[in-house]
Amino acid sequence: MDVTVELREHVLTSVLDTAHSVFGQELAAEIDPITAGFDSIASLQLASVLEEELGVDCTLEDVFDASSFAGLADILAERIDAASR
């Protein structure tokens, strides 16, 4: 799929802002959520807030399977793009 740069940037900003809110510190886009210290409770909070904020499914498995916060943003941006078609 051809997700726009603007959509990717918007979703990445949402992911990083939400991760900061849940975890309490700034996190780099390239960091793996689990390596950053997200346990199952924090990951579930992240997924829940992102799902509500972005209006697209975000599961605990998405957070665990993402290789980075940027990777999670890419997954969600692709879902948003697919839903808008």
Residue length, the chain? 85
- Domain coverage including residue 32: 5-83
pLDDT of res. 3: 81
User: 């309490």: which residue's tokens?
Assistant: 24
According to DSSP, residue 79 is labeled H
Task: Check which CATH number belongs to the domain holding 60 and give it.
Answer: 1.10.1200.10
Determine the 3-state secondary structure of 63 from DSSP.
Answer: helix
pLDDT tens, 17-61? 999 999 999 999 999 999 999 999 999 999 999 999 999 999 999
- Our count of domains for the chain comes to 1
Q: How many CA atoms lie within 13 A of 60 on its CB side?
A: 8
How many whole angstroms separate alpha carbon 56 and alpha carbon 28?
23
